[in-house]
Copies of this chain bind each other. A is one copy, B any other.
Amino acid sequence: VKTIALLAERLRVEERQLMHAFAARGWDARLVAPSSLTHSLDGCEAAPATMVLDRSLATAESTLLAVLLSAAGATVVNRPATARLLADRVALIRHLVGAGLPVPRTAVCFGEESALETIDRLGYPAVLKTLTVDPAFPSAYIEDRDSAEALVEHRVTLGGERAMVAQAYIRSRHDRNVRAIVVGNHGPIAYDTRPTAGWRPEPTTSYTRAEHADSALAQVAAEAARRLGSGVYAIMMIESKDGPVITGAENLVDFRALSESGLDVAGAIVDHALFVHEHSRES
């Protein structure tokens, strides 16, 4: 039996769907908790499976794990280079800017004082984010100078943040957040949206499938997917009054609502993973 490791701390609806989809194709998928893993740096460590599907949120740690597993001979989806772009906010924005794609005005600030000056220059409201995705470290919505001073101080003193990403806040003209869902290497396979409450998605809602995307949005999403490459991820977008803007990209960790809408996301992910595995064995 051919086995694949699903990297995730726990079994959610999505991982069960993936296991079924693997089983239907003759593969045995097993849940492997990243927190259970150790990787020796002696140059002769074996990966826990020849094929690994990373089902955790892309962070610096998950990217390193992907790099080490890949170096140990495993096929890893997402590829380490893609995982890095999903974890490293500055690398992602530079990549998108280099491709001429629309992103919020963004600056990296290397200290408390420069952060305040930068937010003043970007204008209010603005958003502060960590350089690298960190599920334990909040992003901050900043409405005015007083709020900027308080939040920067708290991030630096409580969080030990030494550099941060400051971005202009982009308001949605439809009061919603949009995701373009990429699985494989042919661009977005679907779009879903979630109502905005205040400055971020309403917490009690989840993304629901959008029947169609407007052409400007679809065009930007397709070009972004082409630049980010094949993989399994969501491109986060806001429809601003000046057109679509990309605000980030994430591993596609949740897709149960898309599955319920009739789209076989798990099947598409598994087909992509098996395609990458086949292809890597050839090379």
User: In the complex, A36 Cα to B116 Cα: how many Å?
Assistant: 10
Q: Is the CB of B42 within 8 A of A97?
A: yes
Contact of A160 among B35, B65, B136, B166 (CB under 8 A): B136
Q: Is the CB of B110 within 8 A of A40?
A: no
A18-62 with Cβ < 8 A to chain B: 33-43, 59-61
Q: Is the interface of A mostly helix, strand, loop or mixed?
A: mixed
Q: Inside 8 A of A107's CB, which chain B residues have their CB?
A: 38-41
A11 at the B interface (CB under 8 A): no
CB distance from A84 to the nearest CB of B (A): 12
Taking each of A35, A36, A65, which has the highest tally of chain B beta carbons within 10 Å of its own beta carbon? A35
- What's the number of copies of this chain in the assembled complex? 2
Supposing A110-B61, A110-B65 touch, asked if A41 and B93 sit within 8 A by C-beta, the answer is yes
Q: Is the CB of B40 within 8 A of A114?
A: no
Q: Is the CB of B131 within 8 A of A64?
A: yes
Contact of A38 among B71, B94, B108 (CB under 8 A): B108
CB distance from A32 to the nearest CB of B (A): 10
Q: Is the CB of B64 within 8 A of A108?
A: yes
User: In the complex, A68 Cα to B109 Cα: how many Å?
Assistant: 12
A113 at the B interface (CB under 8 A): yes
Q: Is the CB of B42 within 8 A of A105?
A: yes
User: In the complex, A93 Cα to B98 Cα: how many Å?
Assistant: 32
CB distance from A69 to the nearest CB of B (A): 11
Q: Is the CB of A35 within 8 A of B111?
A: yes
- Residue of chain B at shortest CB distance from A166: B38
A163 at the B interface (CB under 8 A): yes
Supposing A112-B35, A113-B36 touch, asked if A64 and B41 sit within 8 A by C-beta, the answer is no
- Residue of chain B at shortest CB distance from A106: B41
A122-136 with Cβ < 8 A to chain B: 131-132, 136
A90 at the B interface (CB under 8 A): yes
User: In the complex, A97 Cα to B68 Cα: how many Å?
Assistant: 13
Q: Inside 8 A of A93's CB, which chain B residues have their CB?
A: 41
- Residue of chain B at shortest CB distance from A7: B110
A3 at the B interface (CB under 8 A): no
Q: Is the CB of A108 within 8 A of B36?
A: no
A16 at the B interface (CB under 8 A): no
User: In the complex, A90 Cα to B68 Cα: how many Å?
Assistant: 10
A117 at the B interface (CB under 8 A): yes
Q: Inside 8 A of A118's CB, which chain B residues have their CB?
A: 38
What 0/1 readout, one digit per residue, does chain A (61-87) give for beta carbons within 8 Å of chain B? 100110010010000000000000000
What are the 3 A-B residue pairs with the smallest beta carbon separation, nearest first? Answer: A35-B111, A61-B163, A41-B106
Residue pairs across A and B with Cβ atoms less than 8 A apart, 10 shown, are A35-B113, A37-B110, A38-B110, A38-B118, A39-B108, A41-B106, A41-B108, A42-B105, A43-B98, A68-B108
